[in-house]
């Protein structure tokens, strides 16, 4: 060995373990022997060599350091694999995210159990359609006041790979008899999954079926809805033995609904899944099964090109066309500055609705909104199915509660930002969505602003217009962001 040479450089070996992100890896070149220990001549030893005792000490220290490093990496990998590591907690490498910011995918819905189920479907290899449909089916079990198999569904799906946006359309409401709406949820959700889902259809029904069969906890939104009105038509499903409504934390089951979901898992095509339920409901009502009317469809979403990108929404008879017209007028450079809470053309008594959103880091987004019309719909329970029927009015009336929006920042750029918004509640919630989008378009978005937005909610501040619920999801810099108004109203899960 050349006695004048410096210490030999060794590249630190990396152990590639599942679950570690690329930004957690390190590649360092460091001297095996620190610089202060340059070779010195010593009697009894060759130049450039350490005494035997020192060499053993250095070797022991190196082995100890390697052992500690491996233990820490193994602990970090195990924690990350559970999928419950808090997104805001700093990783061992110092890489961290704000609350509501994730690497891969996320879901936000009104019920914690359904957001958790959606995340599990994403982690199982499903896409945003699998997660969204599974969570929607879960909501039909645990939130019967706002949605259900008797509800109507509208949806908007943006494919991050192709850049195409597709609308799930329910068409005009239909009735079995005056005051009782035709159940349309199963065929709509099944159609959406058949076209765009990845996981097997029965896998999406496992969680909701288990909740209906084994029971679920009554959460605060359901308990409030029960307390706000009498229990006529809701017992014994959602009542105590003495007829009082179930309170927060009570345990509820719906065995008839579990049987319907179990049967739906065996249906190979979208249309018959609705026919099976329809036949049971008609039998309960003493009706002849009605002939097949208009079915849910999938069609290209409406588009509005803008300098900032392309805006997508659902077609008529949803409120999407009116919303596009309002936004187009507000963005006209010749028009005066838009009202921060612009008027929105909606009929009085806008139906209550339920919403959810799923998103992944590739830019794919699914927004779903559904309604029974009033709280608990018609309050008419089908004994054979455990389904509460809606009281949506038949005819060409606009579904003013349905106007999800997706903004793709650059049609020719697959890495461009994608923003999704969906609103529920009073008509003022749609004003919130409009004002939020106008504000988003007026402000340049960088990573810090996106993280701040996720923490404070999409419209939290003095310009908040109404008291409804607004969900917002976004993809920026290969991360997904979720937030809601009111802030913290809706549980989200991601990984």
The full length of the chain comes to: 495
Judged by DSSP in three states, 354 sits in strand
* Listed residues 70, 87, 115: the one ending a domain: 70
Is residue 395 located within the same domain as residue 290? yes
Is residue 280 reached through a cis peptide bond, with omega within 30 degrees of 0 on the bond before it? Answer: no
* Residues 129 and 30 placed together within one structural domain of the fold: no
In this structure, the number of other CB atoms found within 10 A of the CB of residue 58 comes to 15
Structure tokens that stand for 221 in this block: 């939104």
Residues 110 and 193 in one domain: yes
Residue 236: asked if its preceding bond is cis (omega within 30°), the reply is yes
- Whether residue 178 sits in one domain with residue 60: no
Q: Tell me the longest C-alpha to C-alpha distance in the chain.
A: 107
Class of residue 92 by CB neighbours under 10 A (exposed 0-12, middle 13-18, buried 19+) = exposed
- Domain tally, the chain: 2
Both 117 and 203 in one domain: the answer is yes
Total Cβ atoms within 10 A of residue 104: 17
* Residue pLDDT tens, the chain, 495 long: 444 444 434 333 333 333 333 343 333 333 323 333 233 333 333 334 445 666 667 666 766 766 666 555 554 443 333 333 333 333 334 456 788 999 999 999 999 999 999 999 999 999 999 999 999 999 999 999 999 999 999 999 999 999 999 999 987 888 888 899 989 899 999 999 999 999 999 999 999 999 999 999 999 999 999 999 888 889 999 999 999 999 999 999 999 999 999 999 987 665 444 577 888 898 998 888 776 567 899 999 999 998 889 999 999 999 888 888 878 888 887 877 666 565 544 444 557 899 999 999 999 999 999 999 999 999 999 999 999 999 988 877 778 888 899 999 876 676 789 999 999 865 555 566 777 788 888 775 555 555 555 555 554 443 346 557 889 999 988 899 999 888 878 999 999
Same domain, 125 and 56: no
- What domain range includes position 356? 104-215+253-494
Q: Where are the alpha helices (DSSP H) in 161-252?
A: 185-196, 201-214, 220-227
The residue out of 20, 51, 70 marking a domain boundary is 70
Per-residue tokens: 117: 């189920």
Q: Are 60 and 138 part of one and the same domain?
A: no
Does 83 map to a domain?
no
Final residue of a domain: which of 51, 70, 89? Answer: 70
Residue 62 and residue 145 in one domain: no
Question: DSSP secondary-structure letter at 168?
Answer: E
142 with 197, same domain: the answer is: yes
Same domain, yes or no: 136 and 20: no
Half-sphere exposure of 68 (CA within 13 A, CB side): 6
Nearest to 373 by CA among 356, 353, 355, 347: 353
Distance between CA atoms of residues 430 and 424, nearest Å: 8
Q: Residue 77: inside a domain, yes or no? A: no
Q: What angle do CA 145, 149, 151 make, to 5 degrees?
A: 65
């Amino acid at each position: 060995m050349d006695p004048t040479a410096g210490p030999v450089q060794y590249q630190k070996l990396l152990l590639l373990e599942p679950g570690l992100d690329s930004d957690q890896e390190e590649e360092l070149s460091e001297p095996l022997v620190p610089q202060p220990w340059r070779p010195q001549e010593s009697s009894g030893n060759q130049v450039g060599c350490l005494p035997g005792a020192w060499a053993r000490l250095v070797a022991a220290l190196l082995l100890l350091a390697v052992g500690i490093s491996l233990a820490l990496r193994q602990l970090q990998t195990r924690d990350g694999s559970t999928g419950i590591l808090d997104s805001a907690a700093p990783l061992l490498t110092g890489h961290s995210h704000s609350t509501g910011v994730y690497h891969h995918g996320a879901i936000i819905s009104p019920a914690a159990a359904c957001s958790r189920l959606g995340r599990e479907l994403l982690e199982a290899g499903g896409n945003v359609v699998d997660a969204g449909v599974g969570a929607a089916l879960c909501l039909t079990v645990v939130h019967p006041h706002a949605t259900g198999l008797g509800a109507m569904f509208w949806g908007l799906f943006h494919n991050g790979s192709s850049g195409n946006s597709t609308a799930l359309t329910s068409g005009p409401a239909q009735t079995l008899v005056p005051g009782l709406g035709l159940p349309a949820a199963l065929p709509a959700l099944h159609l959406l999954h058949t076209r765009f889902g990845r996981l097997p259809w029965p896998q999406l029904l496992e969680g909701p079926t288990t909740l209906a069969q084994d029971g679920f906890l009554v959460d605060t939104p359901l308990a409030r809805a029960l307390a706000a009105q009498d229990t006529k038509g809701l017992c014994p499903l959602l009542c105590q033995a003495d007829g009082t409504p179930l309170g927060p934390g009570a345990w509820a089951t719906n065995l008839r609904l579990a049987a319907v979901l179990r049967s739906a898992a065996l249906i190979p095509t979208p249309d018959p899944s609705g026919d099976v339920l329809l036949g049971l409901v008609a039998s309960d009502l003493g009706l002849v099964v009605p002939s097949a009317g208009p079915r849910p469809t999938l069609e290209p979403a409406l588009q509005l090109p803008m300098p900032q990108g392309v805006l997508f929404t659902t077609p008529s008879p949803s409120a999407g066309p009116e919303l596009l017209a309002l936004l187009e007028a507000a963005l006209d450079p010749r028009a005066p500055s838009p009202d921060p809470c612009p008027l929105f053309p909606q009929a009085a008594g806008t139906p209550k609705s339920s919403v959810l959103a799923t998103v992944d880091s590739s830019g794919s987004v699914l927004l779903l909104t559904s309604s029974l019309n009033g709280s608990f719909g018609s309050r008419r329970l089908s004994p054979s199915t455990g389904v509460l029927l809606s009281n949506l009015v038949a005819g060409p009336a606009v579904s003013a509660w349905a106007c999800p929006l997706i903004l793709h920042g650059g049609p020719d750029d697959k890495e461009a930002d994608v923003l999704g918004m969906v609103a529920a509640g009073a008509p003022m919630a749609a004003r919130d969505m409009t004002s939020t989008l106008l504000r988003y378009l007026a402000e340049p978005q960088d990573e810090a602003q996106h993280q701040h937005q996720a923490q404070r909610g999409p419209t939290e501040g003095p310009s908040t217009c109404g008291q409804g619920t607004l969900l917002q999801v976004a993809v920026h810099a290969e991360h997904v962001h979720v937030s809601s108004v009111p802030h913290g109203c809706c549980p989200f899960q991601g990984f």
